[in-house]
Structure 1
Amino acid sequence: MRKGEYPEGTHVLRAKIDMSSPNINLRDPALYRIKHENHQATGDEWSMYPMYDFSHPIVDAVEGITYSLCTLEFEDHRPFYDWTLDKLIPGGLLSPTDGSRRPRQIEFSRLNVKNTVLSKRKLIQLVTENHVSGWDDPRMPTLSGLRRRGIPPSALRLF
């Protein structure tokens, strides 16, 4: 796979965890897929890329994320998130940046607020295109934006 000899969609690298698990995400999840595209940083050096469920806990640990908040559709994926960390942290292949705290995935119901953009993809676009001054801009629906707007933490806890 690494050498790029297989066409896209023909092979994946899987983890054999527990084929009898009632959670399909813990049976034989795909870890890597073949994709022949130029990457913005590595060009065409790589032809295999990690699947989201595999890279999610790794990126969280490397970036020092303590709580990964996901919508309920990812609830069944949490056991694989934890399995990945359980396998990589003790062996020293991965260590959280603060040395002790490992990331934790928490799911919540999707929230729709009228006249407010909550999509992470759209919020990133607002920041990168300089429509707002940053993640803590008072117009942003982020915790830091709400803090700068003067909303006390106690009000958010009541929400």
Structure 2
Amino acid sequence: MTKNDAPKSTNFIHQIIEQDLQQNLNDGKVVTRFPPEPNGYLHIGHAKSICLNFGTALKYGGECNLRFDDTNPEKESQEYIDSIIRDVRWLGFEWAGEVKYTSDYFQQLYDWAVHLIKEGKAYVDHLNAAEMREYRGSLTEPGRNSLIVIVVLTKT
């Protein structure tokens, strides 16, 4: 079977990747990532995400990064990081290079946020907790329309 004879993927993510590859975007390299928050043990939904992200990288000869979204240090622990690493490996996957952490990029994220704000393409949301709940809505009440928000990270 040649590449042209291969059946078209029914996975919309793979369809988008295949379109990008046909257009020679990103130098033809597929890079995915699995970004768990290390604030608890993984559940079946995480397993699906692991298989999708790592499996997609394998399918296209790319690589998948394991990057912990460690943005809430009060609820995160090394116990959860170690558990997640074991679970990913138990499912049969390895990541590209070293494990990454969002906190390693805080300054870069902060600088991008400041730049977007200065360009008028983002703003800092000043809603209090009650107003956020109102905008978000609930299971029985719809939320309110709001603008796209970029949260500015601050170093502590």
TM-score range with shorter-chain normalisation?
A: under 0.3
Q: TM-score, normalised by structure 1?
A: 0.27
Q: TM-score, normalised by structure 2?
A: 0.27
* Larger proportion of helix: 2
